Amino acid sequence: MHYRQLGRSGLRISELCLGTMNFGSRTPAKEAFDILNRAVDAGINFIDTADQYGGSAGVGTTESIIGQWLAEDKTRRDKLIIATKVHEPMSDDINDQGLSARHIQMACDASLKRLGVDHIDLYQMHHIDRTTPIEEIWQAMDRLFQQGKITYVGSSNFPGWAIARANEKAISQQKLGLITEQGLYNLIERRAELEVLPACREYGLGLIPWSPLAGGLLAGKTGDNHGRRQAEGMQSALRERAEQLDKFHALCANLEQTTSCIALAWLLHQPGVAATIIGPGSVGQLESVLHVPEIQLSTATLGQIDEIFPPCGEAPEAYAW
């Protein structure tokens, strides 16, 4: 396993981040434990979750499964970088959501309890909150810092302007500010290149891409294992991008790699990416991508990939003069 700096912080994280969204909803606890054990054995030290994850099993379930696994061996915690998120509704209570100072404090305490830890390494704002002042958000985060409950703060699904606003406010208060942005970025969805990646590089944030396989499109999935509406959406996307995907499959075949592995490796070749999330539903799926950090793509290959999936350019440079 290879390791990188987490944004401009001094923290070093594995290039593969274990995403746990399937734990509890699609992957039962026993299999989740097997995935966690194999990931750690392979050198993955970065685990990402969120307070709302759990699906039909209920919000908080995923954090609880991770907490149960950590409780099996108390030595595990200190070797891991644990990231979770706050913002999404946790109940029908109107104040049990968003980024108010009250909700941030209560949600953090609840996550700590479910995870069974005394601090969270990376506390991420799951979405932008358009109603809460950024001053209130930083006040709440500073209080958590002072209480020793969190170490770093990150954003998720933030536009470039919100990253800039948050960090300018932190800089004015001589605070570290955001060190990561977890955003949608893959070969099919490259709009992060317009504003988000430039903002991350300017302010020293490490980008952590989610949905690196475009919901399975880049892995050759058809959606047959999901509901009818999702399967129909996947089939429609496959038809729409059939020519692109055929060319990508041919390129990957020439490289003697799966499309999943090349899509993940491509992300690790993009400036500003700190780690890419993998969300295996089984140990077998995890095993199939553990070698991704070893894949080196040549300049020529990266150029071929750009021809298949054209880049977006950068804004405002894309239209500034």
The residue to which tokens 């080196």 are assigned: 296
Whether the Cβ atoms of residue 116 and residue 153 lie closer than 8 Å to each other: no
Reported confidence tier of residue 313, pLDDT bands at 50, 70, 90: confident
Quick one: pLDDT at residue 319? 59
Reported confidence tier of residue 315, pLDDT bands at 50, 70, 90: confident
Quick one: pLDDT at residue 225? 56
Every domain of the chain and the residues it spans:
3-308
**Using alpha carbons only, how large is the chain's radius of gyration in Å?**
19
CATH number of 3-308: 3.20.20.100
Model-level pTM?
0.92
Rounded CA separation 271/269 (Å): 7
Q: Which of 53, 123, 152, 185 is the catalytic position?
A: 53
- CA 93 to chain centroid, in Å, comes to 27
Whether the Cβ atoms of residue 198 and residue 264 lie closer than 8 Å to each other: no
Quick one: pLDDT at residue 198? 94
Residue 9's identity, in one-letter code, is S
Residue 53 bears catalytic tag: yes
More confident residue, 219 or 167: 167
